[in-house]
Amino acid sequence: LDITGGNSRFIMVVGGLGYIGSHTVLELLKENYNVLVIDDLSNSYESVLHRIKALATEHFAAQDRPMPALHFRQLDYRSPCMRSILASYSSYSIGRKASTPITEITRAVPSGFPFSALQRTDSGIDMETDDAQETILRRESRISGVIHFAAYKSVEESIRMPLKYYSNNVCGLVDFLSLLEEFGIKNFVFSSSATVYGEGANCGVPLREELCVHHPETFYDDAGLERQVLPGVLGLTSPYGRSKFMCESILADIARSDPSWSITALRYFNPVGCHESGILGEDPRQKPSNLIPVITTVLTGTKPVLEIFGTDWSTPDGTAVRDFIHVVDLARGHIAALAASAARKIKTPFRAYNLGTGRGHTVREVLQSLEETSRRRIPVKEVGRRAGDVGFCVAEVRRAESELDWRAEKSLADCSVDVWNFTKGRCEPQISDEMIC
Ligand code: NAD
Ligand code: WQD
- 348-360 mean pLDDT: 97
Q: Verify whether ligand 1 is closer than 6 Å to residue 303 (CB atom).
A: no
Please report which residue ranges of 75-137 form alpha helices under DSSP H: 81-88
> What is the per-residue pLDDT across 256-314, written as a single tens digit (0 to 9) for each?
999 999 999 999 999 999 999 999 999 888 888 999 999 999 999 889 999 999 999 99
Angle among Cα 84, 88, 90 to the nearest 5 degrees reads 115
Model ipTM value: 0.98
The reported pLDDT for the residue numbered 46 is: 95
Mutating to test ligand 2, I would choose from 266, 363, 381 the residue with most ligand atoms within 8 A of its C-beta, which is 363
Ligand in nearest proximity to the CA of 268: 1
Residue tagged active-site, from 19, 89, 165, 240: 240
Letter string b/e over residues 179-210, b meaning 16 or more CB atoms within 10 A of that residue's CB: bbebbbbbbbbbbbbbbbbbebbbeeebbbbb
Closest alpha carbon to 293 in 304, 280, 306, 309: 306
Q: Measured between alpha carbons, how far is residue 399 from residues 266, 354, 404 in Å? A: 11, 8, 8
The residue nearest atom 21 of ligand 2, judged by CA position, is 270
Q: What's the maximum distance between 2 C-alpha atoms anywhere in the chain?
A: 84
For residue 91, name the pLDDT band (cuts at 50, 70, 90): confident
Give the nearest ligand 2 atom to 240 CA.
Answer: 24
Instruction: Strands of 75-230 (E only): list them.
Output: 90-96, 103-107, 119-120, 126-130, 135-141, 143-148, 187-193, 217-220, 226-229
The pTM of the full predicted model, rounded to 2 decimals, is 0.91
Q: Are strands 361-362 and 321-322 parallel, antiparallel or unpaired?
A: antiparallel
Distance CA 22, CA 106 (A): 34
Ligand 2 midpoint to CA 31 (Å):
31
Cα Rg, the chain, nearest whole Å: 23
> What is the per-residue pLDDT across 377-410, written as a single tens digit (0 to 9) for each?
999 999 999 988 899 999 999 999 999 999 999 9
Ligand in nearest proximity to the CA of 237: 2
Is 77 an annotated catalytic residue? Answer: no
